[in-house]
């Protein structure tokens, strides 16, 4: 029997159990609004499609086929930089396998009218139900036309078009055609405005190229937020000019001393731009008051005793990684850090962490959260934080992230009733770092504590009923976190994220009434050859009957 220090909570005990197993093995080897309601007849039509996430409504046009040809042109709404970005992105996705030039041009009157040949991405004439993120996609034998109110809808429509093309479109080198798109009319819009994934670059650092690949592949499923966990006990991963030792010292290690590193501001801007060009907004997280040892090791003056902490390379949260919350210097530090982060952040949110500040007196915790909330708002951003934050901060301007049952449910329910909006990341369904099955004990990848979580578990929940007492209207999104204590390569990221992130993406996008595991697993099976062709190292979960051919 393993025994644990009594002050550890349930999560830490389970994670510690996982850590012990892992150690033994190592020794051996924008504004968020809810979607309009859906017509039931339309939903029946939607189920026939192979798309993930399943669209709101789809009507096939029998006998109609569009074909991309060497001279096909992509037209984008005149005067819109966002539409142009969506068009450039579509061309980037289609050029390698087709080998076609696919020039991107401004749409003229004939495209706006919908009669012209080619592929058009337009910002007028969409059905009003598409809202700020939805789209209509129409395929005739002459033209593919995507219409949306905003560029976000065009990006979503681009992903749908990509999945309507043959699987070989995912090749990185030119293939023979034909490049056919079946005739169809799709009306589609998301259930929730926020569909995110978190990548933990603090436990292990991942270079820009790895993050870009992850962005490329989550974008397929209409994920629209990338939450970057930039700081933790084991590493500080973003350059801050006013506190340079955060990266020279705090970025110099990782779990078990592996994968040190940090992003320069130019690197970080490159990630933010790359994400935006794929319809994804980056949410930076600066953790505190716990999970902060990398900062405390970088600057002696941030510690209550004036002595720098040691660098930390352990696997569990460090008991010493707690900020000195009653000292003014902590808030000068946070002000300068958050000021620099805000300047790098076009999106509305800054995530302030706030989980697992073990043993900190409630008043001290509330003091920290209150001060940091003020700082975030002063820099023009909205506060986002783990559910523990909701014991101290709530209201319509605050976004809370639910991750665990039984720690402070009462705070979450009360905050939600008082207008706080929630993103749902229940660890036992949405944590991409959990192992898929019990049968993988010798598989060094993945945590145990909230799992195992196979694809059916990832799909088997509803955001609006997940936490009893929370009003459905408080839930504005879902997020699938990928923590990286056990993860140290892109292939690991992909094995854990795919295909489960597609399950979370569908829960966040598709209408509740379409929710059906058997239908989903069939549609998901068709994604296997696409992911394989795209060289994504997805896991062949036995919950899905994968197709062996394209």
Q: Which is nearer to ligand TNX, 85 or 433 (CB)?
A: 433
Q: Which is nearer to ligand TNX, 219 or 458 (CB)?
A: 458
446-475 mask for ligand TNX (x: CB under 6 A)? -x----------------------------
Instruction: For residue 483, state whether it binds ligand TNX (rule: CB under 6 A).
Output: yes
Q: Which of residues 356-375 bind ligand TNX (CB under 6 A)?
A: 356
| 8 A C-beta contact, residue 520 and residue 459 | yes
What token pair was written down for 175? 């293939």
Q: Which is nearer to ligand TNX, 302 or 450 (CB)?
A: 450
Beta-strand ranges (E) seen in 69-221 are 74-76, 104-106, 118-122, 135-139, 143-147, 179-188, 194-200
What are the two backbone dihedrals, phi and then psi, of residue 199, each rounded to the nearest 5 degrees? -120, 120
Q: Which is nearer to ligand TNX, 205 or 546 (CB)?
A: 205
CB of 509 to ligand TNX, least distance (A): 23
CB of 353 to ligand TNX, least distance (A): 7
Beta-strand ranges (E) seen in 244-357 are 281-285, 349-351
431-450 mask for ligand TNX (x: CB under 6 A)? x-x-------------x---
CB of 254 to ligand TNX, least distance (A): 13
Q: Which of residues 50-69 bind ligand TNX (CB under 6 A)?
A: none
Q: Which is nearer to ligand TNX, 152 or 478 (CB)?
A: 478
Q: How far apart are CA 186 and CA 135, in angstroms?
A: 8
Catalytic residue list contains 136: no
The count of other CB atoms within 10 Å of the CB of residue 99 is 14
Among 355, 393, 394, 466, which residue interacts with ligand TNX (rule: CB under 6 A)? 355
CB of 450 to ligand TNX, least distance (A): 7
Count of residues interacting with ligand TNX (CB under 6 A): 10
What token pair was written down for 252? 């110099």
Best CA proximity match to 63, nearest among 119, 178, 140: 140
Q: Which is nearer to ligand TNX, 150 or 466 (CB)?
A: 466
Among 221, 333, 365, 403, which residue interacts with ligand TNX (rule: CB under 6 A)? 403
CB of 251 to ligand TNX, least distance (A): 18
Q: Which is nearer to ligand TNX, 80 or 387 (CB)?
A: 387
Q: Which is nearer to ligand TNX, 446 or 511 (CB)?
A: 446
Q: Which is nearer to ligand TNX, 333 or 386 (CB)?
A: 386
What token pair was written down for 279? 């319809």
| 8 A C-beta contact, residue 302 and residue 329 | yes
- Sheet containing 57-68: give its strands across: 57-68, 179-188, 135-139, 143-147, 118-122, 74-76, 104-106
* Catalytic one of 356, 394, 485, 494: 356
Q: Which is nearer to ligand TNX, 137 or 493 (CB)?
A: 493
CB of 290 to ligand TNX, least distance (A): 9
> DSSP H helical segments within 40-117, as ranges?
40-46, 81-98, 109-113
385: enclosing H helix or E strand: strand 382-386
10-49 mask for ligand TNX (x: CB under 6 A)? -x--------------------------------------
80-119 mask for ligand TNX (x: CB under 6 A)? ----------------------------------------
Among 192, 221, 349, 386, which residue interacts with ligand TNX (rule: CB under 6 A)? 386
Q: Which of residues 218-247 bind ligand TNX (CB under 6 A)?
A: none
Listed in sequence order, the residues at least 6 apart from 118 whose beta carbon sits closer than 8 Å to its beta carbon are 72, 73, 74, 75, 111, 143, 144
The count of other CB atoms within 10 Å of the CB of residue 98 is 23
CA dist 354 to 212, 285, 385, Å?
27, 10, 6
CB of 199 to ligand TNX, least distance (A): 12
Q: Which of residues 506-525 bind ligand TNX (CB under 6 A)?
A: none
The Cα diameter of the chain in Å comes to: 76
Please report, in angstroms and rounded to a whole number, the separation of the first and last CA atoms in the chain: 49
Listed in sequence order, the residues at least 6 apart from 196 whose beta carbon sits closer than 8 Å to its beta carbon are 223, 224, 225, 226, 227, 283, 423, 477, 478, 479, 480
CB of 259 to ligand TNX, least distance (A): 15
Best CA proximity match to 156, nearest among 86, 102, 98, 92: 86
CB of 485 to ligand TNX, least distance (A): 6
| 8 A C-beta contact, residue 221 and residue 538 | no
Q: Which of residues 283-342 bind ligand TNX (CB under 6 A)?
A: none
What token pair was written down for 154? 């065009």
Residue 273 falls in which region: left (phi positive, over 0), alpha (psi -120 to 50) or beta: alpha
What token pair was written down for 546? 């994968």
What token pair was written down for 263? 């992003």
CB of 311 to ligand TNX, least distance (A): 18
| 8 A C-beta contact, residue 124 and residue 112 | yes
Listed in sequence order, the residues at least 6 apart from 128 whose beta carbon sits closer than 8 Å to its beta carbon are none
- List residues with catalytic annotation: 356
Q: Binding residues for ligand TNX, per CB under 6 A?
A: 11, 355-356, 386, 403, 431, 433, 447, 483, 485
């Amino acid at each position: 029997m393993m025994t644990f220090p009594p002050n550890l909570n349930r999560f830490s005990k389970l994670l510690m159990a996982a850590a012990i197993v892992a150690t033994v093995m190592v020794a051996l080897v924008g504004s968020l609004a809810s979607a309009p309601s859906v017509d039931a007849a339309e939903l029946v039509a939607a189920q026939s499609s192979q798309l993930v996430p399943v669209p709101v409504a789809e009507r096939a046009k029998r006998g109609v086929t569009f074909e991309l040809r060497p001279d096909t042109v992509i037209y984008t709404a005149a005067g819109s930089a966002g539409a142009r970005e969506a068009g450039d992105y579509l061309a980037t996705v289609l050029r390698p396998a087709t080998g076609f030039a696919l020039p991107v041009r401004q749409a003229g009157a004939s495209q706006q009218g919908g009669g012209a040949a080619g592929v058009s991405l337009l910002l007028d004439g969409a059905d009003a139900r598409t809202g700020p993120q939805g789209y209509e996609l129409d395929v005739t034998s002459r033209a593919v036309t995507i219409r949306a109110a905003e560029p976000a809808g065009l990006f979503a429509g681009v992903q749908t078009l990509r999945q309507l093309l043959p699987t070989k479109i995912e090749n990185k080198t030119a293939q023979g055609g034909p490049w056919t798109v079946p005739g169809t009319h799709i009306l589609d819009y998301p259930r929730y405005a926020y569909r995110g994934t978190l990548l933990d670059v603090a436990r292990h650092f991942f270079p820009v190229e790895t993050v870009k690949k992850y962005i490329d592949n989550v974008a397929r499923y209409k994920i629209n937020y990338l939450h970057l966990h930039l700081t933790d006990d084991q590493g500080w991963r973003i350059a801050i000019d006013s506190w340079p030792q955060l990266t020279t010292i705090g970025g110099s290690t990782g779990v078990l001393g592996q994968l040190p590193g940090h992003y320069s501001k130019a690197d970080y801007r490159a990630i933010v731009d790359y994400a935006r060009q794929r319809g994804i907004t980056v949410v930076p997280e600066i953790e505190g008051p716990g999970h902060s040892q990398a900062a405390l090791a970088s600057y002696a003056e941030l510690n209550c005793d004036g002595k720098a902490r040691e660098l930390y390379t352990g696997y569990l949260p460090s008991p010493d990684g707690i900020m000195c919350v009653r000292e003014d210097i902590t808030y000068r530090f946070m002000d300068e850090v958050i000021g620099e982060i805000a300047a790098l952040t076009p999106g509305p949110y800054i995530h302030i962490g706030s989980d697992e500040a073990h043993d900190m007196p409630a008043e001290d915790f509330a003091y920290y959260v209150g001060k940091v909330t003020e700082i975030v708002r002063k820099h023009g951003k909205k506060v986002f934080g783990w559910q523990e934050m909701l014991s101290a901060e709530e209201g319509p301007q605050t976004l809370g992230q639910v991750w665990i049952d039984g720690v402070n449910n009462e705070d979450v329910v009360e905050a939600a009733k008082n207008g706080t909006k929630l993103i749902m990341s229940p660890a036992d369904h949405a944590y991409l770092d959990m192992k898929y099955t019990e049968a993988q004990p010798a598989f060094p990848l993945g945590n145990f504590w909230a799992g195992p979580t196979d694809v059916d578990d990832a799909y088997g929940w509803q955001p609006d009923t997940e936490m009893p007492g929370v009003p459905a209207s408080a839930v504005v999104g879902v997020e699938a976190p990928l923590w990286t204590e056990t993860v140290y390569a892109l292939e690991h990221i992909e094995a854990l994220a795919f295909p489960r992130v597609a399950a979370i993406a569908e829960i966040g996008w598709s209408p509740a009434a379409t929710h059906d595991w058997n239908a989903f697993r069939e549609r998901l099976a068709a994604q296997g050859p696409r992911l394989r062709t795209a060289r994504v190292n997805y896991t062949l979960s036995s919950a899905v009957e994968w197709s062996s051919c394209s």
